[in-house]
Amino acid sequence: MNPELAALALAAARDAAAAAADVIRHYWHRGVEVELKADATPVTVADREAERAIRKILQAALPQASIYGEEFGLDGERGGLLWLVDPLDGTKSFVRRTPFFSTQIALMEGDDLVLGVSSAPIYGETMWAGAGDGAWFDGERVRVADTRAIEQASLSIGNVRTLTADARWDALGALIRDSNRIRGYGDFCHYHLLARGSLDLVIESDVNILDIAALAVIVREAGGVFTDLDGAPLTLDTRSVLAGTPAIHAQALQRLRR
């Protein structure tokens, strides 16, 4: 992607995230009724209106790009330029009045994730990154930590239900025992902490690419490594995450492969 188009796309993504934040704040204070989708996950008017606001801005800025959103599906073709949008990632938190939810907007060019914006309006954090331009937290450039030993590492895990029946469960237990600190921040939060050097490894299963695409760009641009639990690069079908500082990611991947 040429620099001019990249700058235009990033500006549009940040504007779209800000527009979604206005919608989300409105319903956060007002309260909403909750519906259940076919897969039994919750959805609200805030999710839908936030995605409409995002789509309007993205389509005006880059009409040549397709959009794949959590609430309204795919508009256009996969391939080429493709926006990945989760207007309110963490709806379960939203409806239970906890601030661990966010808006996630990423752009793919072919098979490559090239920019990401992660906005948590009630929590009060926004991060963004473009390929080759670094990762930014509220206007300040951020980097992952230089942690090199598991014994010094802080880990965060989330959505590990499927791992309890996985052959890697015992290896994960050993990794936790050998680490310095273990938490379960979840959602956007542990990736923000990782990107700005406050955490060293994130392990998750049961994710959707819309949840993590923007966060992957941010972590990578902050100097981290972001793959699935097998060490494979992200695709539209990715369902798990292993993200960390380069040294800790490599050690964790080796141990989880045993």
Chain mean position to CA 168: 23
Regarding whether 25 and 123 lie in a shared domain, the answer is: yes
Dihedral angle sign, alpha carbons of residues 98, 225, 217, 200:
positive
Regarding whether 202 and 88 lie in a shared domain, the answer is: no
Name the domain boundary from 101, 133, 165.
133
Instruction: Provide the pLDDT confidence category of residue 226 given band limits of 50, 70 and 90.
Output: very high
Instruction: Pick the more confident residue, 161 or 221.
Output: 221
Regarding whether 116 and 15 lie in a shared domain, the answer is: yes
Q: What is the pLDDT of residue 139?
A: 85
Chain mean position to CA 105: 9
Cα separation, 198 vs 169, in Å, equals 25
Regarding whether 210 and 172 lie in a shared domain, the answer is: yes
Regarding whether 127 and 157 lie in a shared domain, the answer is: no
Regarding whether 155 and 125 lie in a shared domain, the answer is: no
Question: For the segment 49-82, what is each residue's pLDDT rounded down to a tens digit?
Answer: 999 999 999 999 999 999 999 999 999 888 789 9
Contact criterion met (CB below 8 Å) for 9 and 61: yes
Name the domain boundary from 133, 162, 177.
133
| Tally of structural domains, the chain | 2
54 in any annotated domain: yes
24 in any annotated domain: yes
144 in any annotated domain: no
Pick left, alpha or beta for residue 134 (phi over 0 → left; psi -120 to 50 → alpha; otherwise beta).
Answer: left
Q: What is the pLDDT of residue 67?
A: 97
Long-range contacts (CB closer than 8 Å, 24 or more residues apart) made by 131-138: 131/1, 131/6, 131/217, 131/221, 132/221, 133/6, 133/221, 134/221, 134/222, 135/195, 135/217, 135/218, 135/219, 135/221, 135/222, 137/192, 137/195, 137/196
CATH classification at residue 82? 3.30.540.10
Continuous H helices in 62-121: 91-95
| Percent of the chain with pLDDT strictly greater than 70 | 100
Question: For the segment 145-185, what is each residue's pLDDT rounded down to a tens digit?
Answer: 999 999 999 999 998 888 888 888 999 999 999 999 999 99
145 in any annotated domain: no
Q: What is the pLDDT of residue 258?
A: 62
139 in any annotated domain: no
Contacts of 106 (CB under 8 A, 6+ apart): 83, 84, 85, 113, 115, 116, 117, 213, 214, 216, 217
Cα separation, 203 vs 121, in Å, equals 24
110 in any annotated domain: yes
Contact criterion met (CB below 8 Å) for 102 and 90: yes
141 in any annotated domain: no
The residues facing 83 across adjacent strands are 67, 107
| Percent of the chain with pLDDT strictly greater than 90 | 83
Q: Which of 126, 121, 73 is nearest to 101 (CA)?
A: 121
What is the average pLDDT value for the chain, to the nearest integer? 94
Cα separation, 218 vs 126, in Å, equals 11
142 in any annotated domain: no
User: Mean pLDDT over residues 235-257, rounded?
Assistant: 96
Regarding whether 107 and 54 lie in a shared domain, the answer is: yes
DSSP string, 111-151: TEEEEEEEEETTTTEEEEEETTS-EEETTEEE-------GG
Question: For the segment 13-60, what is each residue's pLDDT rounded down to a tens digit?
Answer: 999 999 999 999 999 988 888 888 887 788 889 999 999 999 999 999
Give the lowest-confidence range in 122-126, 166-170, 218-222: 166-170
Name the domain boundary from 133, 166, 191.
133
The residue whose two tokens read 């999710």 is 47
CATH classification at residue 223? 3.40.190.80
Q: What is the pLDDT of residue 161?
A: 84
List the domain range (segments joined by +) for residue 30.
3-133
pLDDT surpasses 90 at 112: yes
Regarding whether 118 and 170 lie in a shared domain, the answer is: no
Regarding whether 180 and 125 lie in a shared domain, the answer is: no
Contact criterion met (CB below 8 Å) for 142 and 135: yes
Regarding whether 155 and 113 lie in a shared domain, the answer is: no
Regarding whether 216 and 111 lie in a shared domain, the answer is: no
Regarding whether 128 and 7 lie in a shared domain, the answer is: yes
